[in-house]
Amino acid sequence: MPTGRKVYAAAAGGMKHVTMELGGKSPMIVFDDADVENAVSGAILGNFYSSGQVCSNGTRVFVQEGIKEAFLTRLAERLAKARIGDPMDPEVSFGPVVSQGQMEIVKGYIAKAVAEGARLVFGGRQLDRAGFYLEPTVFADVTDDMTIAREEIFGPVMSVLDFASEEEVMARANATEFGLAAGVFTRDLSRAHRVVRGFEAGTCYINTYNLAPVEAPFGGSKMSASGARTRSSRSTTTAS
């Protein structure tokens, strides 16, 4: 985002029209009536796709209190079976991060999470092999003021936050300078569409995440995007 601001300022000085996408810290809300297995699948795809190096990833996963522990247990079971290695191998689940420098940045965020009191549920380590390989990492008991809940990490780190009510979680989900994407998991489609209408975000997902048709517009709001096209770009993808 800081680099994008500099580009935008330079473009303004030259009276250039620009459209920019500047990253995100997207929320994913899992209500207690959701299909837990499907929600876990969505959280994995929405956090660890491309080893977490996706701007629209739903890295703040809000799970309603009633199913939080069941969600975390199943998530850890699924990740324990994942294979990490050469992304060109079709049997591999997750590949490396892009560089040594980015790996060190991600490790720094993991260390901050531990220092700030988040509970490490899975992962958190660099693999002992050639290359920039990190375990997919999940933290629970994350609070809104923790560094990993506020800053874009761009690596395989998921923050799980719990909530009690729809009103509470909507306020917390939107309490960010970013607004690129968002997702909701629930069997109540009336609530799902109500939540989507309340999101301050561009691409919104219902009972899925990071699965969007190429025909759908891609953009965001707030500090995640700029330009007339992206400000008005909003799309919703619902799992069939």
3-state per-residue secondary structure call for 39-81 = HHHHHHHHHHHHHHCCCCCCCEEEEEHHHHHHHHHHHHHHHHC
Read off the pLDDT of residues 5-57 as tens digits, 9 standing for 90 and up: 666 566 666 666 666 566 789 999 999 999 999 999 999 999 999 999 999 99
For residue 18, being part of any structural domain is answered with no
189: pLDDT strictly greater than 50 = yes
Q: Which residues form the domain of 152?
A: 24-238
For residue 211, being part of any structural domain is answered with yes
Using alpha carbons, list the distances in angstroms from residue 214 to 196, 203, 217, 237.
20, 12, 8, 11
What's the full length of the chain, in residues?
A: 240
- Mean pLDDT over 59-73 rounds to 98
Distance, CA of 200 to chain centre: 15
Q: Please answer whether residues 132 and 95 qualify as being in contact, where contact means their C-beta atoms are separated by less than 8 angstroms.
A: no
Read off the pLDDT of residues 20-30 as tens digits, 9 standing for 90 and up: 566 789 999 99
- Mean pLDDT over 155-171 rounds to 98
For residue 126, being part of any structural domain is answered with yes
One-letter amino acid at 218 equals: F
The model's pTM is 0.88
Q: Which of 67-76, 151-160, 196-205, 218-227 has the lowest average pLDDT?
A: 218-227
Domain of residue 46, CATH code: 3.40.309.10
- Mean pLDDT over 109-125 rounds to 98
> What total of structural domains would you count in the chain?
1
For residue 14, being part of any structural domain is answered with no
Interatomic CA distance for residues 52 and 40, integer angstroms: 15
| Mean pLDDT estimate for the chain | 90
Q: Phi/psi of residue 120, each to 5°?
A: -75, 115
For residue 12, being part of any structural domain is answered with no
